[in-house]
Structure 1
Amino acid sequence: MAEGVLFNIAEGMIKSLGSPALQEIGLLCGFKDELQKLTNSVSTIKNVLLDAEEKQAHSHEVRDWLEKLKDAMYDADDLLDDSSTQLLRQQVMTRDKKAKQVRIFFSKSNQLVYGLKMGHRIKAVRARLDEIGNDQIKFGFTERLIVKHEFEHRKREDTHSFVREGQVIGREGEKKAVKELLFDYNVEEIISIIPIVGIGGIGKTTLAQYVFNDDEVKRHFELRLWVCVSDPFDVKTIVAKLIESATKKRPESLEMDLLQSQLRAETDGKLYLLVLDDVWSENRGTWLKLEILLSGGRKGSKVLITTRSKRVAEITGTMSPYLLGGLSESNSWNLFKKMAFKDGEEPKNPKLVEIGRVIVQKCAQVPLAIRSIGNYGIEVEVLIHLWAAQGFLHSSYGNRHLEDIGREYFMDLLWRSFFQDVQRDGLGEIIKCKIHDLIHDLAQSVADSLSNIPALLPKANKMRTLLLGIPILPGIDDYINENIAIHESNKPVSNTLISSFKCLRALNLSRSSIQKVPSSIGKLEHLRFLDLSRNADIKLLPASITKLQNLQTLRLDFCRGLKELPEDTRNLISLRHLGLNGCNSLTHMPYGLGKLIALQTLALYILGKKKSRLSKPKGELRDLDGLDELRGLLWIKGLEHSRSSPSEAKTANLERKQLRHLMLEWDPKSSEESDKAVANDEQLLQNLQPHLNLK
């Protein structure tokens, strides 16, 4: 979709083009004007992408136009990424190389050559974009603004209480069941609270409207009230809406004391039905404040709540929640006919009927919100890192971590039941989930239609994501075995294959039984995400991997044979996540990891034996000083090697790091029982004082 992919790419490009760093190199090398022209071209195209996306559903020409545009936009994005990579390399060189080498790199001749080359490339890609962009005139695209969603406030358009009976299909049984709950007097509570729970779009609001407008319900209850709650759950706002629903007038005053008095005057002593539609808040205290104000009604009064969250139902309900399932197959078909065909009549064309039946089978029989079957367990952290690698996450305000924004995206999709069956760690954090069955079925049906993907993979040189470690599409396993042979045969991954995908942002080779990572990995200069985890036979990584200055995530978890990290790992200056769980053969950390100031994940840090004059320098506790962005788990092993100098531990400054877990390990074989050793250990522990928020 344009909004989901091209629009994001366009926004990211405009942000990159306006960055001070790129502007500086453009000025230095003489192509700043070309950068401004490219910005104008991309901005012009971005403004019509949303309209083009909507119109492509009805026009093959528009679809073709978007395909051409996507190809050109990807090329332009890669070009800008080349410039950004050049800047990162300059930072590394400036930091670590000799002054003479730096002067050569920044010489006038180098600037001139680089500037001419880059200027021509930018001009060419801009001309291509302008040529494609000019075609938008014949399509009559209009500019649209995209609505930015704040995930903390999942506000939707207000619902109302009315629905015509003829508009509701297939909910007679559910209506009868809810009415029985409303008319039930065999309850202890004066006010009964009944939650209706179901996934987004399944018809909770429609069912509530259907019941609310029933003639028997109208006769039974003296007062009927309807409020759309959404989020945030603000008691004052809800009380004001309740008064307006009861009196058909807006309250004259918004003072809380006057509002609560007016609400109780309208509800106390009356048999009422209140519908609170679209409740999200899981704050029990806030709910109790509202419940107290509603408790004066006559016994038999009912509050009907619609929510997607079983947690909300547990907090609010005095009765067991009513779990709303999907429509029957026949009712699904009836609804589909009504929506898709003229006058709701089944078409005479049998092909259309067949297609419609397939759509109904895939999409209409919606399961209950909680189900245990999925296609695949997804690691939430990995998913967020993949989103970041593709540029889908943007921080539009403050210095927020992209990972926090990604977590909000995930939670929003979870609330909307895109994901399900979550697993939590010991501290309640969601670590795994499964994709919803409907989304899985849709993805599977799309994948089934792409039968030629395995054969086309080697030719897809502009591919941005390659997940060879996790078979996703039908036939991909056969392709891996036949063309790469990284399973049973343990043959190395082809240098040619890897180097042919030079546009990759994400590469997954986990669980692939490879013994050696090809040196060509260093040519993937756009790479942001590299997963080599669970390859027990990898002993060393190629030095070329440290050329990946854009790399954000490097997963090496459970590479049990890995002996050491490359000496120049400190050159991975964009690295945010270094996964080393289960790397039991690692003997030490390389020197200089403290330069990776963006690092957030470093689960394992191993102190080696003190270096001799002839040995390579190794990482020390003082190298942790600059890593103030570390979060999650930090496990420091080999502390026995720092026993002789416990004061060094203070330089790690653990108290500045927002860790959740901290593990400190000495080798028991090296334990000493002397008073001096015990005193040193105590001093070492004291100097490794963690942050007060440690869980």
Structure 2
Amino acid sequence: MKGETEKVRYDKLKRLAYDIDDVLDKYKTAVLKSEVERDEAQTPSTSSVSSQVPNTPISLFGGIAPRIKELNKRVEAIAKEKDYLSLAIDKSSSTDPKLERLETTSFFVEPVVYGRDHDKLDLIDRLLVSDNNRGRRSGNDTPLIAIVGMGGLGKTTLAGLVFKDKRVRKHFHKRIWVCVSDPFDEVRIAKAILESLKGEPSKFNVLHNLLEEIEEIIEEKRFLLVLDDVWTEDENKWKQLKGSLCSASRESRILVTTRKKNVATMMCCSNPILLDLLSKEDSWSLFSEAAFWGRSEEDCENLESIGREIVDKCGGLPLAIKTMANLLCSKGTEEQWQRISDSEMWELEDPEIFKDLYAPLLLSYCDLPMSVQQCFRYCAIFPKDYEIRRDELIKLWMAQGFLGETRKVNELEMMGEDCFDKLAMRGLFQEFKKDEIGGSIIECKMHDVVHDFGHFLTKTECLLVEGQRLAESFHENARHLTLIAKPDNIPIDGIKGLEKLRSFLVQYNSDAKVPKLYESMSNLIDQLISVRVLRFYSGHSVYDNYLRIPKEIGNLIHIRYLNLEGNSLRELSETLCDLCNLQTLNIRKCHTLRELPRGMGRLTKLRHLQNGSIKILMPKGVGRLTSLQTLEEIAVIRGGNRTSSDSFSLADLGKLIHLRGKLSIQWLGNVEETSEAREAQLSTKTGLRSLTLDFRGGNFKKREKKTESDALLLQALHPPPRLHTLKIEFCGWEEWEYELLLRSRGGQGHQSSSSSSSSSIAFPSIMPKLQRLSIGACSKLKTLPHHLLQSRALQELTIRESRFLFERFNKERGHDWPSISHIPQVEIKRPFNFPRYSAAEILEQEPSSSSWSGQGVWKELLLKPSKPIQRILIAAIGVNFFMQASGNDAVVYYSPKVFKDAGISDRKQQIGVSIIMGIAKTCFVFISALFLDRFGSRPLLLIGSIGMVISLGGLGFGSKYLEQCQDKPEWAIALCIVAGIVAVGTVFFYFFLPETKGKSLEEIEVLFEDKPLDGKQ
């Protein structure tokens, strides 16, 4: 479509298609909702669960007929103009299935870079040469090198090659890579630099504080900072960041990639590296590597002349050449190659198109099936350099209906994986992150030029804007909107067209806290009547502001994907359960959320419940979600507001036969009968690849029986056979024998008379694909399963907080280390408070040995303590400090004098009051001892501290009634000060002192690990 008239008519046709889809979806939703309510009426146990906002099928059906009449008129009007529309569908765009075999794994091989050897050597020389040899440093500024060139020339590729070079890695103490892009966000860049330097996110959000911390960390350090894809020419934005880097060593370097030479000049780089186009021979080498992969010599010779024509049309641009090579590797005949070479797209005159680069991308794009094309266009909603998670992208495609509809449970996900692979093979995705063992892709990015191409295709349909610019950037034709939120007020009122949005994605970081947009959440949701995808994503949970999802959420009848990850949620409205089309609900890291709505069983189309990293009560209705494929974590909870008949149980887990991916079962110690564990039917869930079994919980008085009960529980659970990862935590058994796992698999496998004989036999029927085995905080466990250790599939073994296993299997002194030494990755962490030498080794040492002095212990304890030890020291010192500072002991020691000063002059009365006070204190200590095992030390300590605050405060304010006391003001001030100290101590106890009732030393150390201590664990 070359004319403006055709474009207008095409846009009109697209709007009509969207409106028709909305009406059809509304009708299907009404039918589905009536079926759900009919089934619910037949289930007495759910009759008490009702929505707070009724949304009956009658109200849904209403208004459909008039809309259909209106749409028919629009269809007729467009039909009259059909002769003017040049909407031809190229049937050849569908990939020939016979040629699919050519789209193999050549893409995933690390690419060879052609034509950049000289540039690479020049760049490395500039990075490594000292300042004494080159006078490039003005004042205290860190020397800056810039790579300049148009998009697609390989600037980032060249910088990446140098960044990973062995000489560069050895030369610099720190290497930092930051993708800058547009706009130049100083705070984001500074935080990215700090995170790379420290290995953890910074707590600061103010630019001045961030720059101060950077300056302090890099002082006299030799670092390399790569700023990729810089666009800004504003010198003021760059100056502040540059100033914080001056404290580093003079041999530090900054490497910048940019398309604009003015940027290099602004950043004071007088001699940038200007990338040239590839030569014809380098272009041909790059092209032929991918395009001719897997072909015979005869085919290569026949296609060479046409291939060289196509390479010449790419103009020496590496990205264009690779795009065409990835396209042509799936074309097997000369006719197909010639058709691409003769395409009119090489001659496009659209001023928006950069011909040499976009023409190859257009050719590759148009060759894709139409369903894959719309999947690619949708990727324009992501910011540049965004890490796209493969699984989440597929869920988004599903929510938009790009993958069609099917009644089979996992068919849509499989179609999405196939679509992703097609785009990856065409080179439209890059920078893949893969699973460490399985090798499957889990994340990717888009080249910034490919990202620009996606925006060129979608124009105003996909918008990516910053919050404060929403009003000026929003277009009424927008269907997908990504909002990068900041603390500024985001004006939603008065913006027309929100009701047409099908995707509304809000992303904010910890510095934004909760945007003011959320204050008008009800008004916002009222406008998003067509939305399929709704995401309010926070990179970090924010506890001082809570996201409130209003009851109007139940009116979003079209929604398929709801992502609330990382937000501080108090609750989810019961009306959420009216979203009968919902496929994905993501509540990961919503740590303040305590339970799900009771009507979850009405979400019959829910396929993915992403609830990792939170402890949450789930209703029994979750067991009715038979389409569920993702359920990341469940907890066996006893007690609370819900009865066992209302809560999700292991028996309900047995009904979810389609689960796959990861599953973590927490608090298995609360399971009272092994029959309940057997009903979980884990062995039938063959789609599970990762399983975590956490045996915490149970009655403390029955802890001695835990050895036997946990072993029986594992047998009853029947771990599935196709696991790749198995994690066992806080187990109570001592021996992990072959027979134990054999019984858990129903007697499959070879029989063995003893553990010694079984160690020489492979048992392929018991988790033969297990690649990761992790044992954590199993303080009684003394053995490991020999048959699993012998498996060739096992690649990783992790043991932590398990003293017997550490003693037997550690590399330094463990006599059983040879039995696991063949495993590629073994990590055995020294248990907390475990001696560095055994008793025998200590006795063998000479008395004069330095080890007798305890120097290593004191050094580890005081000079370089681990984080758990740091937190334990803080808690221990803090408790003793506040006990002394409260004045409690002082009053006991000097009670006669205290009472004398208070006005009791008689000696006998002083002694009598002291005795009464001692008896009272003894009684309270005795009462505390009685309730210690029942309630734990933490609640009793908090109650006692609060009581002291009230008592001391009351004495301070009531001291005016002591008529015989001459120093009433001093008494009042002293008592109020002590009351304040105890109040501070109460806060300290709450946040820094976790409950340790019924926990072993290993379990206690876990409480003091890198998690924030809120005392609730």
TM-score normalised by structure 2 residue count: 0.40
Using the alignment, how far apart are the partners of 1:595 and 1:559 within structure 2?
A: 24
- Partner Cα distance (2:96, 2:677) in 1: 42
Partner of 2:673: 645
Q: Residue 509 of structure 1 aligns with which residue? A: 536
Task: State how 1:472-491 maps to structure 2 within 5 Å.
Answer: 477=486, 481=490, 483=492, 487-488=512-513, 491=516
Cα distance in 1, alignment partners of residues 346 and 598 from structure 2? 71
What amino acid is aligned across from residue 29 of structure 2 in structure 1?
A: T
Query: Which residue is equivalent to 1:61?
Result: 5
| CA distance 1:377–1:451, shift in 2 (3 Å) | closer
Q: Is the 8 A contact 1:511 1:534 kept in 2?
A: yes
Alignment-mate amino acid for residue 554 of structure 1? L
Please name the residue that 1:123 is paired with: 69
Corresponding residue SS for 1:389: helix
Q: Aligned equivalents of 1:59 and 1:562: distance in 2?
A: 54
Counterpart selection for 2:433 from 404, 412, 423: 423
Q: Deviations over 1:563-620 (max 9, x none)?
A: 111111121111111111122xx34221121111111111111221157886871110
Separation of aligned partners in 2, 1:331 and 1:386 = 27
Q: Does 1:405 align with 2:434?
A: no
Question: Judging changes above 3 Å, is the alpha-carbon distance between structure 1 residues 417 and 478 closer, same or farther for their aligned structure 2 residues?
Answer: farther
Letter in 2 for 1:428: G
CA contact (8 A) 1:69 1:132 kept: yes
Structure 2, unaligned runs of 5 or more: 48-55, 104-113, 117-153, 158-277, 321-340, 362-382, 494-505, 725-1017
Aligned partners of 2:534 and 2:563 also within 8 Å: yes
Task: Answer yes or no: is the 8 Å Cα contact 2:31–2:57 preserved in 1.
Answer: no
Q: Does 1:572 align with 2:572?
A: no
Q: What is the aligned-residue identity percentage?
A: 27
2:23 is aligned to 79
2:587: which partner in 1?
Answer: 556
What is the Cα deviation at residue 382 of structure 1? 1.1
2-structure distance, mates of 1:451, 1:662: 38
Q: Secondary structure at the match of 1:527?
A: coil
Query: In structure 2, do the counterparts of structure 1 residues 613 and 588 end up closer, same or farther at CA, with 3 Å as the change threshold?
Result: closer
Question: Is the CA contact 1:531–1:554 (under 8 Å) kept in the aligned structure 2?
Answer: yes
- The alignment status of 1:531 with 2:608, answered yes or no, reads no
Residue among 394, 404, 408 paired with 1:394: 404
What secondary structure, in the 3-state scheme, does the structure 2 residue paired with 1:154 have?
helix
Which residue number in structure 2 is paired with residue 188 of structure 1? none
The equivalent residue for 2:180 is none
Once the two structures are superposed, the pairs formed by residues 213-232 of structure 1 within 5 Å of their partners are none
State the Cα distance separating 1:677 from its structure 2 match: 3.9
- Find the counterpart in structure 2 of residue 223 from structure 1: none
Conservation of the 8 A alpha-carbon contact between 2:433 and 2:442: yes
| Residues in 1 aligned to 2:630 and 2:515: alpha-carbon distance in whole angstroms | 30
Would the alpha carbon gap of residues 402 and 210 (structure 1) be closer, same or farther in structure 2, given more than 3 Å must change? closer
- Corresponding residue number in structure 1 for 2:627: 598
Shift of 1:622: 0.8
| Inter-CA distance 137–694: structure 2 relative to 1 (3 Å threshold) | same
Secondary structure at 2:628's aligned position in 1?
coil
User: 1:7: which partner in 2?
Assistant: none
Q: Name the CA distance, whole Å, in 2 between partners of 1:119 and 1:525.
A: 18
Paired residue total: 471
Residues 578, 146 of structure 1: CA spacing in aligned structure 2 closer, same or farther, 3 A cutoff?
A: farther
How many Å apart are 1:500 and its aligned residue? 0.1
Deviation at 1:466, TM superposition (A): 4.1
Question: 1:665 is matched with which residue?
Answer: 694
Partners of 2:89 and 2:459 in 1: CA distance: 36
Shift of residue 530 of structure 1?
1.0
| Distance across 1 between alignment mates of 2:435 and 2:345 | 51
Alignment of 1:250-329 (within 5 A): none
1:618 to 629, 647, 650: 647
Matched, 1:682 2:711: yes
Question: Are 2:449 and 1:438 equivalent residues in the alignment?
Answer: yes
3-state secondary structure, aligned to 1:64: helix
**In structure 1, what residue type is equivalent to 2:655?**
G
Q: Identify if the C-alpha distance between structure 1 residues 576 and 99 changes in structure 2 by more than 3 Å, giving closer, same or farther.
A: closer
Secondary structure, counterpart of 2:612 in structure 1: coil
Structure index of larger Rg? 2
How does 1:154-169 map onto structure 2 within 5 Å? 154=100
> 2:464–2:481: 8 Å Cα contact kept in structure 1?
no
Task: Report SS of the residue matched to 2:634.
Answer: strand
d(CA) in 1 for partners of 2:287 and 2:643? 82
Q: Is the 8 A contact 1:395 1:401 kept in 2?
A: no
Deviates more, 1:413-422 or 1:490-499: 490-499
Structure 1 residue 341 displacement after superposition: 12
Residues 390-417 of structure 1: CA deviation (Å, up to 9, x unaligned) = 1111368977521111111111211211
Residue of structure 2 in register with 1:97 after alignment:
41
Matches within 5 A, 1:348-367: none
Alpha-carbon spacing, 1:276–1:530, altered in 2? closer, same or farther (3 Å): farther
Deviation at 1:354, TM superposition (A): 8.7
Match of 1:543 among 574, 582, 599: 574
Q: Describe the shift of the 1:527–1:612 C-alpha distance in structure 2 as closer, same or farther (beyond 3 A).
A: closer
| Structure 1, unpaired ranges of 5+ | 1-56, 103-109, 158-171, 175-197, 213-226, 247-273, 279-305, 307-323, 333-337, 366-372
Task: Find the counterpart in structure 1 of residue 612 from structure 2.
Answer: 581
CA distance in 1, matches of 2:665, 2:319: 60
Paired residue type of 1:89? K
| Offset from partner CA, 1:284-309 (integer Å, 9 cap, x none) | xxxxxxxxxxxxxxxxxxxxxx9xxx
| One-letter amino acid of the counterpart of residue 128, structure 1 | R
Is this contact kept in 2: 1:633–1:659, CA < 8 A?
yes
Deviation at 1:328, TM superposition (A): 5.0
2:709 & 2:558 partners in 1: Cα distance?
A: 47
Say if 2:399 and 2:583, in contact at 8 Å, map to a contact too.
yes
Provide the TM-score with structure 1 as the length reference. Answer: 0.57
Counterparts of 2:631 and 2:447, CA distance in 1: 32
SS at match of 1:421: strand
Q: Secondary structure at the match of 1:507?
A: strand
The question of 1:497 aligning with 2:524 is answered yes
Report deviation, 1:690: 2.5
Distance 1:374 1:60 in 2: 29
Bigger shift: residues 407-416 or 666-675? 666-675
Contact 1:464/1:503 (<8 A) preserved = no
RMSD: 5.1
Give the partner amino acid of 2:693. Answer: L
- Partner deviation per Cα, 1:153-174 (whole Å, 9 max, x = no partner): 53689xxxxxxxxxxxxxx989
Distance 1:479 1:78, change over 3 A: farther
1:71 is displaced (CA, Å) by: 1.4
Larger deviation: 140-149 or 515-524? 140-149
- Find the residue that maps to 2:679 and give its secondary structure: helix
User: 401-410 or 678-687, which moves further after superposition?
Assistant: 678-687
Confirm or deny that 1:521 pairs with 2:553: yes
CA distance in 1, matches of 2:94, 2:343: 30
Distance 1:630 1:355, change over 3 A: closer
Give 1:633 shift: 0.2
Q: 8 Å contact 2:30–2:57 — kept in the other structure?
A: no
CA distances 1:297-334 after superposition (whole Å, capped 9, x unpaired): xxxxxxxxx9xxxxxxxxxxxxxxxxx9x8558999xx
